[in-house]
Amino acid sequence: MKKTIRYFLTIALLVSSASVLFAGGAKEVSAPTTRKDIRIGISPGPYGDMITQAIAPYLEKNGYTVSVVQFSDYVQPDLALNNGEIEANLMQHTVYLNQFSKDNNLSLSPVIVVPTAGAGVFSSRYTSLDQLKNGDQVAIPSDATNLARALGILARYGLITVKPDVEATKISLLDIASNPKNLQFKPLDAAQISRSLDSVAIGVVPGNFAIAAGMDFSKALAIEKLAENYKNVVVVRTVDLNAQLGQDLKAAVESPEFYDAITKEGSQFGSFDRPQWWVDTYGEGK
């Protein structure tokens, strides 16, 4: 790793509602970024490695110094970005970004989609979904966006059905139309599910948390096929989207350096779902 890549750990406060922090309105940075020492925020998961191994090498060749700033939750990275405390982040999909920005009056925009780990269904008890018994407990993420994804996965594998008129990104427990095995759903913080598998029959673990916990996807009972708007994006302040920073970040992800880092033998990103632009460009994808 080159010395110009610095890695910081930021202990971000866990908050129950970001809107409380922004009751007086969000602070907004109005001028495009001109600095070349940029800070990119992440949350728990593999995306710090994606920045240092796949994105930073291109940026360094173009005069940047890249620092990775790790937050402990999914609230602070967008707030810090909007406030100018970091210059970009890589920790969320478009659905989350759009909803969080709307709820908190943030001016943030996606630059480009990156390869992303889908959620997995894991169990310490079973080796197949067919083994589920009547009344078994199922751990699912408690936040609305990932809860909808989890229920979508369970519906795809026939464990439940959902009302046909409900938008896929907004499915809730109230939208379950049938539940043949009378599964009992246990909403938990997404980061806690991997540590709770001994107390439930199965758990749906978002990909970044599964990787951070060292979970083996080859042992997953099911793996999510991600819709495009559920794949992670590099995000900047909207004022930087078409400015130099946004252009350079996009070029970094589209660069040969990025492709080589993602596809090299033994890469942790090998099983990640590829974005549509990647499939169109390289003729390959997951």
Last residue of a domain, one of 223, 255, 272: 223
Residue percentage of the chain with pLDDT more than 70? 90
Residue 254 lies in a domain: yes
Residues 63 and 191 in one domain: no
Domain holding 180, by residue range, is 120-223
Residues 208 and 266 in one domain: no
Residues 100 and 240 in one domain: yes
- pTM, 2 dp: 0.76
Strand partners, 121: 204, 222
Residues in the chain: 286
Last residue of a domain, one of 183, 202, 223: 223
Q: What is the pLDDT of residues 88-104, one digit of tens each?
A: 999 999 988 999 999 99
User: Taking residues 48-62, what's their average pLDDT?
Assistant: 96
User: In the β-sheet with 184-188, what is the strand arrangement from edge to edge?
Assistant: 184-188, 137-141, 202-205, 120-122, 222-223
Residue 1 lies in a domain: no
Residue 39 lies in a domain: yes
Q: What is the pLDDT of residues 176-207, one digit of tens each?
A: 999 999 999 999 999 899 999 999 999 999 98
What CATH number does the domain containing 20 carry? 3.40.190.10
Q: What are residue 280's phi and psi, to 5 degrees?
A: -65, -35
Please give the pLDDT value at position 53.
Answer: 96
The radius of gyration of the chain's CA atoms, rounded to the nearest angstrom, is: 19
Chain mean position to CA 205: 12
Please give the pLDDT value at position 1.
Answer: 45
Residues 124 and 110 in one domain: no
Contact 88, 234 (CB under 8 A): yes
Characterize the bridge pairing of strands 184-188 and 88-93: unpaired
If pLDDT is split at 50, 70 and 90, which confidence band does 6 have? low
Mean pLDDT score of the chain: 89
Last residue of a domain, one of 223, 243, 270: 223
Residues 10 and 66 in one domain: yes
| The pLDDT of residue 144 is above 70 | yes
Residues 184 and 200 in one domain: yes
What span, in angstroms and rounded, lies between the C-alpha atoms of 141 and 130? 22
Residue 52 lies in a domain: yes
Contact 135, 181 (CB under 8 A): yes
Residues 158 and 213 in one domain: yes
If pLDDT is split at 50, 70 and 90, which confidence band does 168 have? confident
Residues 210 and 174 in one domain: yes
Instruction: Please give the torsion angle defined by the CA atoms of residues 35, 99, 21 and 208, in that order, rounded to the nearest 10 degrees.
Output: -70
Q: Which residues contact 29 (CB under 8 A, 6 or more apart)?
A: 82, 83, 84, 237, 239
Residues 277 and 197 in one domain: no
Q: What is the pLDDT of residues 83-141, one digit of tens each?
A: 999 999 999 999 889 999 999 999 999 999 999 988 999 999 999 999 999 999 999 99
Residue 178 lies in a domain: yes
Please give the pLDDT value at position 217.
Answer: 83
**Helix 144-156 / helix 94-104 crossing angle, nearest 10 deg:** 150
Residues 75 and 12 in one domain: yes
Please give the pLDDT value at position 285.
Answer: 60
Residue 156 lies in a domain: yes
Residues 10 and 102 in one domain: yes
State the total domains in the chain: 2
What span, in angstroms and rounded, lies between the C-alpha atoms of 222 and 235? 29
Residues 77 and 104 in one domain: yes
